[in-house]
């Protein structure tokens, strides 16, 4: 399916992620269920992180945002697009008993699965809320830290998403976001393919546009902490774009990058 309609994109994303939440186990590995299934963006280091819960890892991330978030004991953390709770539980280990972690996801099935995982862990200072990133169910100046992992590319209005991040952060608060960006234009067939939205590829902004969305809402001291190229197999691209579009893309040298970006809200 190809569309640029924001409501239709959200509907497809909600449906697909709802189905993933109902699957048993994780979808990591050679049968990775992110996007087309032939594009694997998930990092492999999660099992080494304290607080990691295998049942919460659906293989849907593209980075390790908690690694760069400098989360401290007692802080309040909000995870945007929290899924089954993978990064929430890692963050909970870092904030300890005195902190608080909120996960926000727009898919009811994901919220239910995350709450099941929370019950296994017995955490009292973790909460999962149903809501959209462009209209977060969180009060102003609430969080010391906001994290997100390969989710903002599923949001059609990214500037609105970053405006919400600025609203929810406390003055002096910080964010650490892992996401996908492109260094140049994608073929129209790929850019408008909602099937690839599920793997974040079609929704990827250029690096310059992504950083501009952040600065436009007043967030500052923005730093790209890590950057890694994501391979797009030619045979996968041909499922969504014409042969001439694919050739133009490959000849252009445009790359898809997995990045982790940090920054601060002014005091």
CATH number of the domain at 32, please: 3.40.50.150
In the chain, how long is the greatest CA-to-CA distance? Answer: 57
- State the chain's mean pLDDT as an integer: 87
Asked whether residue 1 is domain-assigned, the answer is no
What total number of domains does the chain contain?
1
Give the mean pLDDT of 36-50.
69
Tell me the mean pLDDT in the region 165-179. Answer: 98
pLDDT digits (tens, 9 = 90+) for 50-88: 888 888 988 888 999 999 999 999 999 999 999 999 999
Average pLDDT of the segment spanning 128-145: 97
pLDDT tens, position by position, 80-113: 999 999 999 999 999 999 999 999 999 999 999 9
Extended strands (E) in 138-168: 143-149
Residue 105 belongs to what domain range? Answer: 6-264
Q: How far apart, in whole angstroms, are the C-alpha atoms of residue 90 and residue 69?
A: 11
User: CA 15, CA 237: separation in Å to the nearest integer?
Assistant: 23
Query: And the tokens for 256?
Result: 């898809």
pTM over 0.85? The answer is yes
Q: Report d(CA 185, CA 183) in Å as an integer.
A: 7
């Amino acid at each position: 399916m190809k569309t640029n309609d924001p409501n239709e994109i959200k509907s497809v994303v909600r449906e697909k992620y709802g189905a993933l939440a109902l699957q048993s186990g994780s979808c990591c590995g050679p049968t990775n269920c992110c996007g087309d299934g032939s594009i694997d963006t998930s990092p492999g280091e999660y099992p080494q992180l304290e607080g990691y819960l295998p049942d919460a890892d659906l293989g849907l991330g593209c980075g390790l945002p908690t690694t760069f978030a400098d989360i401290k004991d007692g802080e309040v953390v909000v995870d945007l697009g929290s899924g089954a709770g993978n990064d929430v539980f890692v963050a909970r280990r870092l904030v300890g008993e005195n902190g608080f972690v909120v996960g926000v996801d727009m898919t009811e099935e994901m919220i239910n699965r995350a709450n099941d995982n929370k019950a296994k862990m017995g955490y009292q200072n973790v909460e999962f809320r149903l809501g959209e990133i462009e209209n977060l169910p969180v009060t102003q100046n609430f969080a010391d830290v906001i994290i997100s992992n390969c989710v903002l590319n599923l949001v059609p209005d990214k500037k609105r998403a970053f405006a919400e991040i600025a609203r929810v952060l406390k003055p002096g608060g910080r964010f650490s976001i892992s996401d996908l960006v492109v260094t140049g234009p994608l073929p129209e067939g790929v850019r408008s393919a909602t099937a690839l939205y599920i793997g974040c590829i079609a929704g990827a902004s250029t690096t310059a546009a992504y950083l501009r969305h952040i600065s436009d809402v007043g967030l500052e001291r923005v730093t790209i902490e890590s950057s890694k190229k994501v391979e797009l197999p030619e045979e996968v691209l041909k499922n969504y774009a014409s042969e001439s579009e694919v050739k133009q893309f490959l000849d252009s040298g445009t790359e898809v990058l997995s990045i982790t970006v940090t920054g601060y809200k002014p005091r």
